[in-house]
Amino acid sequence: MIQLVGSAVAVSLLVAIAAWARISRPTPPLDAEGARALLAVEFPDDRVDALWIAADGAGLVARSGERALVAWRKGDGYVARDLAWSAALAARPDKGFLRLKTADGAPRLALKDGAWPPREFA
């Protein structure tokens, strides 16, 4: 009986730890410094020519030559992808959001004034 109770307590403890580990942690909104740090980690060999951060701080688009570097919040972290700069400029806003088509996702970035491309990219 003692062994059964001990096993039940151990299993309950493991289940509790697994449940706690799945709770997402709040991710602070991006600012210019945080965005550049994220880009430096994700794209260490790329120079950032211009940077735009979404209105809610949950994503960014940066220009690096003829490539667009895109990052957006997913869960408790960020996902970073790149695409052709012309494809990023060709994206059209829809109801205050910009949806960019990447190879394996389509982030929805909040626009500040509803216009795309922003002044930072002019």
pLDDT confidence band for 122 (50 / 70 / 90):
low
The pTM score is: 0.76
Residue 117 has pLDDT above 80, yes or no: yes
Give the model confidence (pLDDT) of 62-101 as tens digits.
999 999 999 999 877 899 999 999 999 888 888 889 988 8
Q: What one-character-per-residue DSSP string does 41-57 give?
A: HH-TTPPPSEEEE-TTS
- C-alpha to C-alpha distance for 102 and 59, rounded to whole angstroms: 14
Place of tokens 């996902």: 79
Q: How many CB atoms lie within 10 A of CB 88?
A: 24
Residue ranges of domains in the chain: 32-121
Give the model confidence (pLDDT) of 23-46 as tens digits.
767 788 999 999 999 999 999 999
pLDDT of residue 70: 94
pLDDT of residue 4: 94
pLDDT of residue 65: 92
Q: Among the residues of 1-122, which ranges form H helices?
A: 2-21, 32-42, 85-90
Task: Show the tokens assigned to 103.
Answer: 């190879």
Integer CA distances (angstroms), 104 to 30, 80, 82, 93, 120, in order: 22, 11, 11, 20, 26
3-state secondary structure (DSSP) of residue 113: coil
